[in-house]
């Protein structure tokens, strides 16, 4: 088993560093283009591997912190990726049972995290739990409002999910590797810096100041057949 956990650690480190370096590339290139899709997909799978190996590793080293950040990062990566397939909710009120179930389970898990953080007096964990719960509530409210979404709501969700997953990964790296920074500060500084970045991207999307690659299919507009 020690060999397995050692290998798991190396895979986790490799996936984490891949995500760290790939995410800025996906943000820098033209949205919806081939490069953006390629590097965005690499980032998504890097976060899936990093989060899954973190879940396995947390059991070995008995780290609740690693467990909770892994859950948060995986959920947010899934939220961001799944949003690419939910553009139709701007005009279609039918939400898959899978999406309802994921958001419902996520809400229960994150509310449990907040409760634990409150009882243990763990502010950083409470922050991530609160952010996760808020995201799940937003998802559920969005599904309840399906058919009346803004045409770019899926894009706002995509940005929020992927950047939040990245922030969680940086937070985990900061706490476990940057030991010269106080633990609470190490946990929260990526969120303090990352939250304004998410809001900046949201303002760009709402102000239609983001250019999508021609023919990318990212406009979110239904085809004539779907309008009927």
SS in 3 state form for 61-87? HCCHHHHHHHHHHHHHHHHHHHHHHCH
Q: How far is CA 219 from the centre of its chain?
A: 21
pTM: 0.85
Parse the chain into domains and list their residue ranges.
Answer: 2-209
Task: Read off the pLDDT of each residue in 46-63 and give the average, rounded to a whole number.
Answer: 82
Direct distance between the N- and C-terminal alpha carbons of the chain, in angstroms, rounded to an integer: 58
**Which is more confidently placed, 221 or 187?**
187
Residue 171 CA to residue 150 CA, distance in Å, equals 32
pLDDT score of 217: 54
pLDDT score of 75: 94
Task: Read off the pLDDT of each residue in 145-160 and give the average, rounded to a whole number.
Answer: 91
Tokens of 224: 């004539």
Return phi, psi of residue 74, to 5°. Answer: -65, -45
On the question of pLDDT at 121 being above 90, the answer is no
pLDDT score of 57: 80
Residue 72 CA to residue 130 CA, distance in Å, equals 10
The residues near 176 (Cβ < 8 Å, ≥ 6 apart) are 66
**Which is more confidently placed, 62 or 78?**
78
pLDDT score of 201: 86
Q: Which of 58-67, 80-89, 125-134 has the lowest mean pLDDT?
A: 58-67
The pLDDT > 90 percentage for the chain reads 43
Task: Read off the pLDDT of each residue in 201-209 and give the average, rounded to a whole number.
Answer: 81
Out of 60-64, 97-101, 120-124, 224-228, the most confident range is 97-101
pLDDT, mean over the chain? 85
pLDDT score of 228: 35
On the question of pLDDT at 226 being above 50, the answer is no
Task: Read off the pLDDT of each residue in 34-43 and give the average, rounded to a whole number.
Answer: 92
């Amino acid at each position: 088993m020690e060999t397995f956990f050692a290998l798991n650690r190396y895979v986790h480190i490799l996936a984490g560093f891949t995500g760290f370096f790939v995410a800025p590339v996906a943000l820098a290139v033209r949205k919806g283009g081939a490069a953006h899709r390629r590097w965005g997909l690499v980032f998504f799978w890097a976060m899936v591997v990093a989060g899954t190996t973190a879940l396995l590793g947390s059991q070995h080293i008995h780290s609740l912190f690693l467990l909770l950040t892994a859950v948060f990062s995986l959920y947010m990566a899934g939220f961001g990726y799944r949003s690419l397939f939910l553009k139709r909710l701007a005009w279609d009120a039918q939400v898959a049972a899978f999406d309802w179930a994921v958001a419902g389970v996520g809400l229960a898990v994150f509310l449990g995290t907040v409760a634990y953080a409150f009882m243990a007096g763990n502010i950083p964990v409470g922050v991530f739990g609160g952010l996760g719960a808020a995201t799940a509530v937003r998802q559920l409210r969005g599904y309840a409002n399906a058919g009346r979404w803004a045409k770019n709501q899926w894009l706002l969700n995509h940005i929020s999910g992927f950047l939040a997953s990245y922030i969680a990964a940086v937070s985990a790296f900061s706490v476990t590797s940057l030991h010269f920074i106080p633990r609470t500060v190490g946990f929260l500084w990526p969120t303090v810096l990352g939250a304004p970045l998410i809001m900046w991207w949201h303002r760009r999307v709402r102000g239609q100041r983001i250019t999508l690659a021609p023919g990318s299919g990212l406009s979110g507009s239904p085809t004539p057949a779907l309008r009927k």
